[in-house]
Amino acid sequence: METIFVLTVNGEEYRLTLPAKWIMEAEKRLGESMLAALEHIDRLSVVTIVLWASMQKFGHGMTLDKAGELIDGMRKDGCEFGGETYEDFSLEVRTKLYTQLLVIAGFFTKETAAEMLANLTAN
């Protein structure tokens, strides 16, 4: 199972992973499980908290404020992950990023995530 992936924002690469310690911290701050929080993907705070947690192992010193600034960069200039480049940080892109975070956290396989995303875009 893939446990790390790379997010590129403004030409800078960030290695993301979610060990159990940081999944629990994200869930504590969210007030619910990361899976349940998928229902609230329209809330920027959900993506910010989980992105922040995913950056703790490799991006020491990443604060929630810095994670918010990173999201502002994605909203302004787009981002790249999973071999795709995105020009914006629309709800569709947020959902794809969050789903990838759920994959590295062990909630889904890559195949299940791809099926979920295909169903979202088909509806």
- The 10s digit of each residue's pLDDT in 2-14 is 689 999 999 999 9
Give the CA count within 13 Å in the CB-facing half-sphere of 79.
21
pTM exceeds 0.85: yes
The answer for residues whose C-beta is within 8 angstroms of residue 86's C-beta and 6 or more apart is 74, 78, 79, 80, 93, 96
Split at pLDDT 50, 70, 90, the class of 60 is confident
What does the block give as tokens for 118? 């295909």
State percent of the chain over pLDDT 70.
Answer: 95
Domain carrying residue 94: 4-122
Q: How many domains does the chain have?
A: 1
Sign (positive or negative) of CA dihedral 49, 54, 57, 58: negative
Average pLDDT, the chain: 91
Asked whether 90 and 47 are in contact (CB, 8 A), the reply is no
